[in-house]
Structure formats: structure tokens, C-alpha cells
Structure 1
């Protein structure tokens, strides 16, 4: 792999891993529980980390990096949709209920004690940008960078 492809690979692995780490730090360190759409944004990042890791082991490496970039982009687009719901630009697709834990306890107790997190209310903002908004910005820009770097690698 050339230097551009290696950088794309590092971005495809590092950006979603760091965004997931931030999401879990927010959740468990600061009590910012995720709504349903927050979870939707995490799933593509998990896929991106797996695909980018796969690119370190299995050819064709650029295919896995490109798919990881696509997963990062999908998370960013979900984040943009979620941010629009939070800002009241459009309505969400679901009623946004908190997830139930599968810890073997009483399901009714888990339901009654689960934090209710609405998708249309930003749990935290910085400069007017919600966490979903930051995910959208970081993910879309990172995905574009991954694609540009892969394109440079093909021409080199």
C-alpha cells in the first residue's frame, strides 16, 4: 500500500474507534444515555472498525478500507438526520425509547427503571452543535478524506 492508502486505513480505523470511545465515555462517564437514533449511529462505526481492521489482514485492502469509509459516511448521514430531528427541522421516524438491558433481571423492572431518552432533545451541545451534529460533521468529513486518499492511492 502507498502512503495515501495507509493514511486512509488509519483514518478508517481511528476515527470510528475514537467516536465510539467518546460515545461510551459520554454514556458511562457523564450519564448521557443514548436514544435510539444515537444507537443507529454507533452500528456503522462498529462495522467500520471491523472492516478497517480486516483491511490489515486480508486483500484487497482498498476494498475493505473503502467499505469502512462507506460505513463512516452512513453513520454521519444518520447523525445529520438525527441532528435535524433535534433542531426541529423535521420529524424523526420512531418514538425513541430507551433500550432494555438483557442482564437476566426482571424485564418489567428494567423497563420501568430505564432512562427515557428522547431523540428530539439534544442531551448536550457545544456552540449549539449536538453530539449527533458533531458525529455528522466528523464522520462525513472523515469519510470524504478516506475516499480522496484512496483515489490518490489509485493514481499513484
Structure 2
């Protein structure tokens, strides 16, 4: 049972920490996300409610494990997108050829002003790196490792 508890904790804490870091880099560090940065956030956003459901249903171990696995899958998908994005940043392959900004609504003039005021962030340029690894690269590494650990813990729980 301990491995299921660890898997649940990892399935919740990983997306919370990585989304927290992404939003901190955006709002505190001034690093505006590109379209592929947003793509990496969406699976983490899905993983959080799935992991919370796993906690709510922890009295029913099999269902809790299912939701933990789904959260782990979402974390892994974010990691794969992060690896793809990092590859685009490093020039290993081509990614998006356009950048996009999504206005939040209002009149035509309001939407045009929103688009014009939005910072242009390229997907093929890493705005920050540490030891040569970009934020997308770190997301790929950390999310991939967490997803693998969740899978291993769930398999261990299943064997027990």
C-alpha cells in the first residue's frame, strides 16, 4: 500500500511544483510562455484534478490507482511535449513556424489591442537555461522521471 501512496503523492506534487515553477518564471521572472510552453502546461493542469480524485478515492485502492495512473500519464505527456519543445529550441528538429497570441475577447478594437500588446515569444529560442538545459528540457526530464516513477510504483503496488 505504501507504493500506491507514494505514487499518488508524486502524481499530485509533480504537476503542482512544475506548474508553480512555470507560473513563477512567467509572473515573477518575466519569461512569457510561447505556444509550446502552454502545451506543456495543459497536461499538468489535467493531472492535478486526477491526482486529487485519487486521494479522494483512496479507500477504494483499485480506483485510486486508476486515477493515479491517469495523472501519471498526463505528467508523462507533458514531459514528451517538453522534450519535443527542447529539441526545437536546440535546433534538433523544426517546430512551429508561427507564433500565436489568443485575445481574451471584447470588441474588435479591444482584441487588436490585446494582440498588439502581447509579447512575442518564439518557440525556437530558449529564454532561459541552466547548465545548457532550457525550462522545456527540465520539464521533459522531471516530468518523464516522475511519470516513470509513478508507473514503477503502481506496478510494485499491483504485485503486492
* Equivalent-residue separation in structure 2 for 1:110 and 1:147 (angstroms): 42
* Equivalent-residue separation in structure 2 for 1:98 and 1:138 (angstroms): 28
* Equivalent-residue separation in structure 2 for 1:67 and 1:96 (angstroms): 30
Alignment of 1:1-156 (within 5 A): 2-58=1-57, 59=60, 60-100=63-103, 102=104, 104=106, 106-156=110-160
State the shift of 1:95 in Å: 1.3
* Equivalent-residue separation in structure 1 for 2:133 and 2:101 (angstroms): 22
Q: How many residues of Structure 1 are paired with residues of Structure 2 in the alignment? A: 154
TM-score relative to the length of structure 2: 0.92
* SS of equivalent to 1:148: helix
Q: Which sections of structure 2, spanning at least 5 residues, go unmatched?
A: none
* Equivalent-residue separation in structure 2 for 1:4 and 1:61 (angstroms): 12
